[in-house]
């Protein structure tokens, strides 16, 4: 395997790997906060709110977005290899890192917003859920934009000639 192929494959790995780590961090942060909110609610004799699960699960989608970017890269590698052209390994690595970091940060920040939302919902007796969902959605939009923009850039990577 040549260096450019390796770099291209690393780009795919970085896209999915970083996205998954961000999702895991976001889920853990929101999940820990949800557990604390459930504990406070239970001690206060309040019903345990399912709404917290929505906030805990929100960061998972960025792993999917990272996978969608990563799944485009083998086709690019094959496209260049099929005609014997030099694979733009550095570019694919850069796009993979960009996608991975965008998804990583989107998921992690979404988890932080979800964590704060769990605390707020517990303190406010369930009021304000729509506002938290809007804030979570804004963080999700960063992940969606990352997926779309990196996919567009990958689409523009073509064999010359």
pTM of the model: 0.92
Cα gap 28→35, rounded to integer Å:
10
Could you tell me the residue ranges of all domains in the chain? Answer: 22-155
Q: What is the pLDDT along the chain (161 residues), one digit of tens a residue?
A: 799 999 999 999 999 999 999 999 999 999 999 999 999 999 999 989 999 999 999 999 999 999 999 999 999 999 999 999 999 999 999 999 999 999 999 999 999 999 999 999 999 988 999 999 999 999 999 999 999 999 999 999 998 86
- By the 10 Å C-beta count (0-12 exposed, 13-18 middle, 19+ buried), 58 is classed as buried
CATH H superfamily, domain 22-155: lithium bound rotor ring of v- atpase (1.20.120.610)
Cα gap 22→139, rounded to integer Å:
12
- Which among 33, 43, 47 has a CA at the least distance from the CA of 118? 33
């Amino acid at each position: 395997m040549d260096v450019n192929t390796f770099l291209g494959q690393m780009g795919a790995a970085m896209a999915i790997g970083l996205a998954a780590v961000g999702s895991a961090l976001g889920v853990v942060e929101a999940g820990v906060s949800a557990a604390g909110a459930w504990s406070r609610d239970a001690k206060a004799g309040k019903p345990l709110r399912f709404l917290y699960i929505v906030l805990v699960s929100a960061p998972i989608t960025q792993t999917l977005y990272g996978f969608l970017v990563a799944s485009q890269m083998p086709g690019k590698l094959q496209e260049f290899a099929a005609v014997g052209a030099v694979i733009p390994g550095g570019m694919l690595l850069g796009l993979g890192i960009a996608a991975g970091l965008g998804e990583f940060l989107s998921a992690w920040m979404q988890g932080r917003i979800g964590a704060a939302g769990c605390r707020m919902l517990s303190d406010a007796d369930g009021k304000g859920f729509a506002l938290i969902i809007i804030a979570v959605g804004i963080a999700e939009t960063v992940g969606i934009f990352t997926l779309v923009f990196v996919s567009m850039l990958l689409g523009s990577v073509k064999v010359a000639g």
